[in-house]
Structure 1
Amino acid sequence: MNFSERLDLAMRQAGYTQGKLAKAVNMAQSSVNKLLNGASGSRKTVEIAKALGVSPEWLSTGAGEMAKTEPSNIRETSLKAAIWEEMDRDEDEFVEIPLLNVALSAGDGSCELEESSDFALVFRRYYLKRMGVPESAAKLVRVSGQSMEPMLNDGDVVGINLQETSIRDGKTYAICQADLLRVKTLIATPESVIIRSLNRDEYPDEVVPRSDFNRNVRIIGKVFWSSHSW
């Protein structure tokens, strides 16, 4: 099930109409309707899950059990990882990770990033800790195109660690190149960096001299998690 299907199931089981849910979480009914008709997430996921009595992690990603297994003490925040870090970790089990978008930088290659105001996914703090990802360094990016098929499809979302920007051969990274946000496997050689797609039949390796790579490509972070649509 995708996010919209999970939300529909949770609303039906909880006896919530679109209007009732909109009122419960202080959002427009039209926004609830969008979530039920193809939207892949919301910055109010935790609040919606609390109102419907389901696990925020399940509602956000489909992981774990649908029903909450224990009372949640999650409080509403600005839904940014840096703010959640200031909260009592013993009280709060989940953190919401925002999506990064690229703000065009007039072709100078600076590739400015900004957080989406309306999209985030919920992760357990324990999972981030187990993966070695600091909460403040955890962000999401969206895959564009078919170059990483069959592992990742166009529109899939990956989690990245902003603190891991050194190339570890064969690992997958989010990079900015010519004002484009790309998800690619990187391989370093003494003289160059290979930018590799998984769909190598249609997208051959890009071999970039190290000097050009350092000048024109920015490594945003290493991928630690991925979604996959079918």
Structure 2
Amino acid sequence: MPSHDLTSKIKEIRSKSGMSQDAFAGILGVSKSKIQNIESGKQRVDHDFLRGLAVHFTVDINALLTDSPAPPQTDDVNCTSNQFIKVPRLEVEASAGNGSEVSSEAGTQAYAFNRKWLDKRGLKPNTLSVISVRGDSMEPDLNDGDLVLIDLANTDLADGKIYAVQYSGNLFVKRVQYIPGDTVRLVSRNAQYAPIEIKTPEADGVRVVGRVVASMHEW
């Protein structure tokens, strides 16, 4: 079993990166359950895992294995390997509240995702984008400032899934619920926010930007 200090350092690296366990696993090319087991002390940290941290998060393995504080890391993930795909972050915020106005959508920076992780989920790199969330209406699922991975090719609304939806000039991140009679309800996770009901979405100018397929969340 890994030492308490080592598991704490690994969890700190993930937390400082603002990543969920699922996203962290995707970067390292391992399963989410492995991250869970390592952070809970149930699974031994092997050499390949440490090497992945060193390469993709630019950490010092020696510092990880000693009593030194958690090693520093750079802001950018190392993407020299063709095992990783850079996904652009768009300069736009999606509201998890009452709506955010859509302005510039030019890419400002990129985030790296493991190619195998994307392939396993049937995601194509050229149809993906990362955007930030603003507001608290989707808490605790999505917090203010979280980053979400959007599949721009997935615009067919499925009941119960979370989408980025543009409506009345605003961009929302909401869970979709179908109501009989050709009505779509955009539902918040936070009960303090009333759902938004849209009758005949196509006629009302609703544009589905894409489905939220992953989030980077800081605990």
TM-score (norm. length: structure 1): 0.57
Q: How many residue pairs align between the two structures? A: 154
**Identity over the aligned pairs, expressed in percent?**
32
Once the two structures are superposed, the pairs formed by residues 33-182 of structure 1 within 5 Å of their partners are 57=27, 65-68=52-55, 75=80, 92-102=82-92, 114-117=105-108, 119-182=109-172
Contact 1:193 1:213 in 2 (8 A): no
User: Residue 143 of structure 1: SS of its match in structure 2?
Assistant: strand
Is there any run of 5+ residues in structure 1 with no aligned partner, and where? 7-39, 42-55, 76-90, 104-109
Contact 1:111 1:177 in 2 (8 A): no
Q: Which has the higher contact order (CA 8 A, sep 6+)?
A: 2
Output the CA distance in 2 between the equivalents of 1:66 and 1:226. 20
2:205 aligned with 1:216: yes
User: Residue 106 of structure 2: SS of its match in structure 1?
Assistant: strand
Runs of 4+ in 1 over 4 A off after TM superposition: 2-6, 110-113
Output the CA distance in 2 between the equivalents of 1:213 and 1:102. 23
Is there any run of 5+ residues in structure 2 with no aligned partner, and where? 1-11, 20-25, 29-34, 36-48, 57-77, 94-100
In structure 2, relative to structure 1, the CA distance for the partners of 1:4 and 1:177 (3 Å cut) is same
Output the CA distance in 2 between the equivalents of 1:145 and 1:127. 29
In structure 2, relative to structure 1, the CA distance for the partners of 1:136 and 1:207 (3 Å cut) is same
Letter in 2 for 1:100: L
One of 189, 207, 211 as aligned partner of 1:198: 189
In structure 2, relative to structure 1, the CA distance for the partners of 1:74 and 1:155 (3 Å cut) is closer
Output the CA distance in 1 between the equivalents of 2:207 and 2:192. 24
User: Residue 150 of structure 2: SS of its match in structure 1?
Assistant: strand
Taking only aligned residues, the RMSD between alpha carbons, in angstroms, comes to 3.4
TM-score (norm. length: structure 2): 0.60
Deviations 1:38-88 (Å, cap 9, x if unpaired)? Answer: xx79xxxxxxxxxxxxxx936xxxx8641239xxx955xxxxxxxxxxxxx
